[in-house]
Amino acid sequence: MIPVSEPFLDQRALELVGEAMRTGWISSAGHCITEFEGLWAEYCGVRHGVAVSNGTAALQLAMEALALPAGSEVILPSFTIISCAAAVLRAGCVPVLVDCEPDTWCLDVSEVARKITAKTRVIMPVHIYGHMADMDSLMDIAQRHGLLVIEDAAEAHGAECRGRRAGGIGAMGCFSFYANKIITTGEGGMVVTDDDALAEKLRGLRNLCFRSDRRFWHSELGHNFRITNLQAAIGLAQIGRIDEHIARKRRMAARYTAAFQDIPGLVLPVEKKDFKNVYWMYAIVLGEGIAISTEEMAAKLRGEGVETRPFFVGMHEQPVFRERGLFGGERYPVTERISRRGLYLPSGLGLEDSDIDFVCAAVRKSLA
Ligand SMILES: Cc1ncc(COP(=O)(O)O)c(C=O)c1O
């Protein structure tokens, strides 16, 4: 079976993990964490990185760090992972959805202004499958309305919008370093920011809000969302190879796109002018004229030895939110269509060109 993704780990990661084990720095202190945070923040073009246990925790801390009044509204895309809406709700805020664009699958910036009310405080764009949302237009709207932007860049390590990297543009950028991400720490995440006060707040929240002036003394409620030095050791080795990882993702995507170009109705990922898509996952949407369902296609591909994954299901369709009285009667047509008609193909960094060619042939066969 050709897997959808597999981590690509090297000797350097093994050495750094070995060093952490030999020296006993296996918990949340150790030089790998601070180096990893510093290098990743620098890569994103900001001054602070606060590493945490996963991308979901990063989003939760970013929301909590703002300490917004209860009932504040946060605009986010309907097409995303539940971590985003969950972070909004856990911070006592209200998620307000907008649909996504049919080509980049990222939040449709042209719909944002209509959703702004007197209670809106934050916009949370999600950079989907390696392509960024239109951050220039979004930052413009945010500035005009006095709103903060939290970027979810979990899937877009190193992606660019007009020369600026994902995660480094908004007030805070959130990353996941789960095993399928462009760089991984196994489990892990980070919030990056250029704001000193937010960085301080994030560090406190990550570590139970211990006060620095007196031991075991707390004036706020925090979490244990710490990352370990063992995980950061892997991350440190991975950062050193990020250019290589992204180049490999882009070559893989070019190979897929060349092979699928002539298939009528098959919607392929785009790279808009002035953007750099890092093609975290090579995703396709079955469009007009393709009768087969994604479930049938996934089953056929599985039969050929090719693993796939379906797209996210829209937040407005999630039972957990419907039961809470959220998003009742709301419709997001692009999200609904792509969530039913999209799937992503093997995109692991260890795949050979011959594996990609094998997947391409299997896709053609399943559509024939
Ligand atoms: C867009 C997006 N945001 C957030 C997350 C959550 O990250 P994690 O799985 O590390 O909690 C993911 C998941 O991988 C994701 O795809």
* Residue range 248-258, pLDDT digits in tens: 999 999 999 99
Which atom belonging to ligand 1 lies closest to the Cα atom of 176? 10
Q: In angstroms, what is the span from residue 213 Cα to ligand 1's centroid?
A: 35
Q: What is the pLDDT of residues 333-367, one digit of tens each?
A: 999 999 999 999 999 999 999 999 999 999 999 99
- 3-state secondary structure labels for all residues of the chain: CECCCCCCCCHHHHHHHHHHHHHCCCCCCCHHHHHHHHHHHHHHCCCEEEEECCHHHHHHHHHHHCCCCCCCEEEEECCCCHHHHHHHHHCCCEEEEECECCCCCCECHHHHHHHCCCCEEEECCECHHHCCCCHHHHHHHHHHHCCEEEEECCCCCCCEECCEECCCCCCEEEEECECCCCCCCECCEEEEECCHHHHHHHHHHHECCCCCCCCCCCCCCCCECCCCHHHHHHHHHHHCCHHHHHHHHHHHHHHHHHHHCCCCCEECCCCCCCEECCCCCEEEEECCCCCCCHHHHHHHHHHCCECCEECCCCHHHCHHHHCCCCCCCCCCHHHHHHHHHEEEECCCCCCCHHHHHHHHHHHHHHHC
Q: In angstroms, what is the span from residue 154 Cα to ligand 1's centroid?
A: 6
For ligand 1, pick from 60, 81, 124, 129 the residue to mutate: most ligand atoms within 8 Å of CB. 81
Which atom belonging to ligand 1 lies closest to the Cα atom of 126? 1
How would residue 41 be classed by pLDDT, with cut points 50, 70 and 90?
very high
Q: In angstroms, what is the span from residue 214 Cα to ligand 1's centroid?
A: 35
Q: Is 77 in the pocket of ligand 1 (CB under 6 A)?
A: no
Q: In angstroms, what is the span from residue 105 Cα to ligand 1's centroid?
A: 16
AA identity, residue 337: R
Per-residue pLDDT at 221: 96
**Whose C-alpha lies nearest to ligand 1, atom 1?**
154
pTM: 0.98
How would residue 10 be classed by pLDDT, with cut points 50, 70 and 90?
very high
How would residue 25 be classed by pLDDT, with cut points 50, 70 and 90?
very high
Per-residue pLDDT at 103: 97
Q: What is the pLDDT of residues 140-152, one digit of tens each?
A: 999 999 999 999 9
Q: Is 55 in the pocket of ligand 1 (CB under 6 A)?
A: yes
Q: Is 189 in the pocket of ligand 1 (CB under 6 A)?
A: yes
